[in-house]
Amino acid sequence: MTPSLPIIEVAIPLYLDRTFHYLVPESLQGSAETGHRALVPFGNRKLTGYILGPVATSDVATLKPIISILDSEPLWTPRELEFYRWVASYYQHPLGEVLRTALPAGINIQTRKGTGGETETLAGGKTALREKYYLPLAGATTSRQPGAKALAVLAVIQEQGDISAPELRSRFGACIPQLKRLTELGLVRELEREVYRDPFKKQLVNRDTPRPLHGHQKQALDSIAATLDRQEFAPYLLYGVTGSGKTEVYLQAISHARAAGMNALVLVPEIALTPQLTGRFQARFGGGIAILHSGLSDGERYDEWRRIRRGLAHIVIGARSAIFAPLDSIGIIIVDEEHESSFKQSDGLRYNARDLALVRGRLEHAAVVLGSATPAVTTLYAARQERLQLLELPERVQGRPMPLVQLVEMKKGGDAISPPLAAALAATLEEHRQSIVFLNRRGYATFLVCSDCGKPLTCPNCSVTLTYHRQRGESLCHYCDYAVPAPGTCPSCNGTTLSELGIGTEKLEQQLKELQPTARLLRMDSDTTSGKGSHGRLLSKMNDGSADILIGTQMIAKGHDFPEVTLVGVVNAEASLGMPDFRAAERTYQLLSQVIGRAGRGTIPGRVILQAVDTEQYAIKAAAHHDAEGFYRQELEFRQEAGYPPFSHLAAYAISGLSEQGVTAQAEATARLLMQLKGELKVRVEILGPAPAPIYRLRNRFRRQILLKAPSRNDLHRLLSLWRSRAKVDANVRIAVDIDPVDLM
Ligand code: ADP
Ligand code: ZN
């Protein structure tokens, strides 16, 4: 009898609810470790699998052997795997897909069709970069003398200890002959070394030192530091008004963790990952920082990931996917602006990084700090229920007052800029201070309407109106990028008189130019920041005082610290209220509070003009009066009456497809099956729908949704799991289950 081969459990990145067993052939024993990827036979394909670990026996009769091992180092630790298993179970997503999502894009295996139609799998994706380095050789003596330039090169190499070829080139220009000569003479040695692509691009930052904390900051820090010393899980809500010094608390808490040899993970909304924020961390900590965000190339992302995995970075700052950073010994996880909806991934694995921070923090015995000036209603409620420890910073640093807010009542369809706002802009300009004018709508007009038939121009692929962009000369769909020349003609009646309705940032810029011809204007929205680095360039123009008025969408509402901004104008405070979403009031309150918080962050007090049609609306009024207490009280009452979170748990089925009939039939079948299973399980779950999604057509797909509401999370999950095991889905229809949905559009 031959001794039986070891068996391993492998997850495969496909939409399959199970894992698979494989044999490890003798030649691969010792390298088929947990956390490595393996190339495995699967049907008649070869796929990448993730090794989860050894298993003692398998009830599968004929196991196949794996083909090869793709990594020399494990990609995740057992503790990380425990986290991924939790994620897979909670979000009802296959483990292999979870692992694929968690790994950096650059690492993934690429498959291509071979000549005979067979699928060939290539290990790789991105590869490590290598660069030439030069080192001085000690004690080398020679009678022959190198030339003057070679001697200068040698001096630099000796002074630096080692130096890369590109750096030598940038100092001396072409110097290959000199280097060759120095090498021949045995004075220097050349070697090739793996280098990491540097997302900071060698940006230099002046070091700073911790500031003495004010009373509330100190209390907050002491509490977090005590947790760090005990190395145990403790979740916090750091609830501090804009400009109260939350970031300073984060920095000092991280210092405390670092001093004890622990690492830190910092999650921020994508939009806040500016050089300004990363600069503050660099200034405080110098090196050892890794950053992860969508602006990185696959190569940069892969390099940052490996630096973290190898323990070369101790502080990781990133957008939502950084929750999967391969960081060991995590002492503290910070989620800044925790209320931001961008922490939620909206397709594939629909995770919420804010929620996962608490889960990972528990597994890592870490302190988890959720920070916000305007916490999510659910987060604040959890703090009041003492599921999170509440740390408050109720005042701005150095006693700076909150800005003075004036509510200006507007008439529907009137001018975009009210006389008080125009006067305030003129006065601010005269004082040589800066202003921000906020309008959460890009483009020129909101849309074009045909004067002959009265129909607005809509997208042929999506059920939304097209936005008129004058500079581009196009009407554009903001969902699918469909564009037609504009103004153009009416597609319904061929009418040629199209009139503009509503206003976007582009038109606002033009109106402000007419109003203040001498003002230097800057516009910041996704149209003006699409180029690499353009975001940073616009911000630095604001910082160095070469702009007077910054016009922008929500992109300017967050995280920026412009000390010279003393005036903030909000053109249309209710822009975000019209959404058919139970969180519309919450989002409006948060956005307005953030925008208001941009004013008066320096030594000069700020002032804000909020224009609104309905100045009595509670979210607008509360934001204007800095009345957080009032807002949360009213909002919680509404949530309780309507049975929305935090008084229930939600899940949504998004059903979509190209055939309207197919989608309708599948949606109805799904709801029927859910009703039936609910009866079998006797669980308390409310099943709403199927209803057409608010955007019924998107990129040509018809969309319906079913919303589930349950007082108990356990009931909800039992129903979802049973549905998953029983459902039969039409192959032409896609059903996505979204746990704790954020976007219901
Ligand atoms: P937040 O993150 O709450 O908006 P920041 O941490 O950015 O607030 O602080 C606002 C400003 O006040 C920053 O310029 C910061 O450097 C400064 N600051 C923070 N804490 C202190 C302190 N204790 N003493 C002096 N200045 C401080
Ligand atoms: Zn469209």
Q: What are 224-256's pLDDT values in tens digits? A: 999 999 999 999 999 999 889 999 999 999 999
Q: What is the mean pLDDT of residues 46-52?
A: 93
Residue pLDDT, tens place only, 338-360: 999 999 999 999 999 999 999 99
Q: Are residues 33 and 171 in the same domain?
A: no
* 118: confidence class by pLDDT, cuts 50, 70, 90: very low
Whether 115 shows a pLDDT value over 60: the answer reads: no
Asked whether residue 209 is domain-assigned, the answer is no
Give residue 671 CA to ligand 2 midpoint distance, Å.
Answer: 28
Give the length of the chain: 745
Q: Is the bond preceding residue 269 a cis peptide, omega within 30 degrees?
A: no
Identify the domain boundary among 103, 123, 143: 123
pLDDT given for residue 391 in this prediction = 98
Q: Which three-class secondary structure state does DSSP give residue 48?
A: strand
* CATH of residue 145: 1.10.10.10
Q: Indicate whether 124 pLDDT > 60.
A: no
Amino acid at 584: A
What is residue 111's predicted lDDT score, i.e. its pLDDT? 46
Band of pLDDT at residue 559, cut at 50, 70 and 90: low
Q: Of 211, 214, 219, 248, which is best to mutate to test ligand 1, by the most ligand atoms within 8 angstroms of its C-beta?
A: 248
pLDDT number for residue 739 = 97
Same-domain check for residues 155 and 219: no
Q: Which ligand is nearest to the CA of 399?
A: 1
Nearest protein Cα to ligand 1, atom 5: 245
Total number of domains constituting the chain: 5
- How far does CA 45 lie from the centroid of its chain? 34
Residue 433's pLDDT band (cuts 50, 70, 90): very high
Question: Residue 268: nearest ligand to its CA?
Answer: 1
Looking at residue 525, the DSSP 8-state letter turns out to be: S
Whole-angstrom distance, CA of residue 420 vs CA of residue 429: 14
Letter string b/e over residues 646-673, b meaning 16 or more CB atoms within 10 A of that residue's CB = bebbbbbbbbbbeeeebbbebbebbbee
State which of 398, 432, 459 marks the end of a domain: 398
The pLDDT of residue 108 is: 59
Question: Are 668 and 598 in the same domain?
Answer: no
Residue 135 within any structural domain of the chain: yes
Q: Does residue 723 lie within any of the structural domains?
A: yes
Q: Residue 740's pLDDT band (boundaries 50, 70, 90)? A: very high
Q: Is the peptide bond before 460 cis (omega within 30 degrees of 0)?
A: no
Q: Which domain holds residue 704?
A: 649-739
Rg of the chain on CA atoms, in Å: 29
pLDDT band at 598 (very low <50, low <70, confident <90, very high): confident
Per-residue confidence band for 214, with pLDDT thresholds at 50, 70 and 90 = very high
Task: Answer for the pair 439, 630: CB distance below 8 angstroms, yes or no.
Answer: no
Phi, psi for residue 550 in degrees, rounded to 5: -105, 120
Of the candidates 228, 197, 69, 217, the residue with the CA atom closest to the CA atom of residue 127: 197
Give Cα separations from 223 to 228, 229, 236, 392 (angstroms): 9, 10, 9, 12
Work out which ligand 1 atom sits closest to the CA atom of 213. Answer: 23
Cβ-based neighbour number of residue 487 at 10 Å: 19
How does pLDDT run across 458-500, given as a tens digit for each residue? 888 888 888 888 888 898 888 888 999 988 888 889 888 888 8
Same domain, 90 and 224: no
Question: Using CA positions, which residue lies closest to atom 6 of ligand 1?
Answer: 245
What share of the chain in percent tops pLDDT 90?
57
459 belongs to a structural domain = no
Domain identity same for 35 and 101: yes
Q: How many CB atoms are located within 10 Å of the residue 16 CB?
A: 14
Task: Kindly give the number of the ligand 1 atom that is closest to the alpha carbon of 280.
Answer: 16
Question: What is the C-alpha separation between 482 and 201, in angstroms, rounded?
Answer: 35
Q: Is the per-residue pLDDT at 25 higher than 90?
A: yes
Of all protein residues, the one whose alpha carbon is nearest to atom 18 of ligand 1 is: 245
Question: Rounded to whole angstroms, how far apart are CA atoms 467 and 459?
Answer: 10
- Note whether 422 and 393 are same-domain residues: no
Mean confidence (pLDDT) of the chain: 88
Nearest to 286 by CA among 323, 311, 258: 258
244 CA: nearest ligand 1 atom: 3
**pLDDT tens profile 676-728:** 999 999 999 999 989 999 889 999 999 999 999 999 999 999 999 999 999 98
Domain at 415, CATH number: 3.40.50.300
Indicate the residue among 639, 674, 700 that finishes a domain. Answer: 639
- For residues 724 and 596, state if they share a domain: no
Kindly state whether residue 422 falls inside one of the protein's structural domains.
Answer: yes
Residue 121: predicted pLDDT = 40
Beta strands in 549-684 (DSSP E): 549-552, 565-570, 607-612, 649-657
CB under 6 Å to ligand 1: residues? 211-214, 217, 240, 242-248, 397-398, 561
CA of 572 to the centre of ligand 1 (A): 29
* Contact call for residues 308 and 255 (beta carbons, < 8 A): no
- Atom of ligand 1 minimally distant from the CA of 393: 3
Q: Is residue 207 part of a domain?
A: no
Asked if 252 and 359 sit in the same domain, the reply is: yes
**What separation, in Å, do the N-terminal and C-terminal C-alpha atoms of the chain show?**
63
pTM for the complete prediction?
A: 0.85
Q: Give 690's DSSP letter.
A: E
Task: Report if residue 358 sits inside a domain.
Answer: yes
Residue 2 has pLDDT above 60, yes or no: no
pLDDT the model gives residue 114: 41
For the segment 377-399, the average pLDDT, to the nearest whole number, is 94
pLDDT at 194 over 80: no
CA dist., res. 54 & res. 34, Å (int)? 8
Nearest alpha carbon to residue 197 among 315, 316, 318, 299 = 299
Dihedral angle, C-alpha 317, 323, 324, 329, nearest 10 °: 70
Q: Calculate how far, in angstroms, residue 694's C-alpha sits from the geometric centre of ligand 2.
A: 14
The structure tokens listed for 241 are 């008004």
Which residue, chain included where needed, has tokens 């180092």?
Answer: 73
Token readout for 510 is 């033009």
Q: What is the pLDDT of residue 201?
A: 56
E strands, 241-361, are 263-267, 289-292, 315-318, 330-336
Residue type at 313 in one-letter notation: A
Probe target for ligand 1 pocket from 206, 281, 337, 397, with the most ligand atoms within 8 Å of CB: 397
Specify the residue with its C-alpha closest to ligand 1, atom 14: 561
Q: Is the domain of 245 the same as that of 394? A: yes
Pairing relationship of beta strands 110-113 and 119-122 according to DSSP bridges? antiparallel
Counting ligands in written order, the one closest to the CA of 210 is 1
Q: Which ligand is nearest to the CA of 244?
A: 1
Q: Which residues contact 633 (CB under 8 A, 6 or more apart)?
A: none
Looking at residue 462, its amino acid is: C
Positive/negative CA dihedral, 70, 75, 77, 83? negative
Q: Tell me, yes or no, whether 43 lies in a domain.
A: yes
pLDDT digits (tens, 9 = 90+) for 527-548: 888 777 777 788 888 888 899 9
Higher pLDDT, 1 or 109: 109
pLDDT at site 198: 63
Claim to verify: residue 634 and residue 733 sit in the same structural domain:
no
CA-closest candidate to residue 740, choices 350, 226, 307: 350
CA of 712 to the centre of ligand 2 (A): 38
**Does residue 434 sit in the same domain as residue 559?**
yes
Q: What is the pLDDT of residue 625?
A: 95
d(CA 626, CA 554): 19
Partnered with residue 521 across adjacent β-strands are 549
Please tell me whether residues 72 and 164 are part of one structural domain. no
pLDDT tens digits along 284-329: 998 899 999 887 888 888 889 989 999 999 999 999 999 999 999 9
620: Cβ contacts below 8 Å, ≥ 6 apart: 407, 573, 574, 577, 588, 589, 592, 610, 612, 614
CA distance 70 to 23: 16
Report how far apart, in Å, the C-alpha atoms of 322 and of each of 104, 252, 363, 502 are: 10, 21, 16, 38
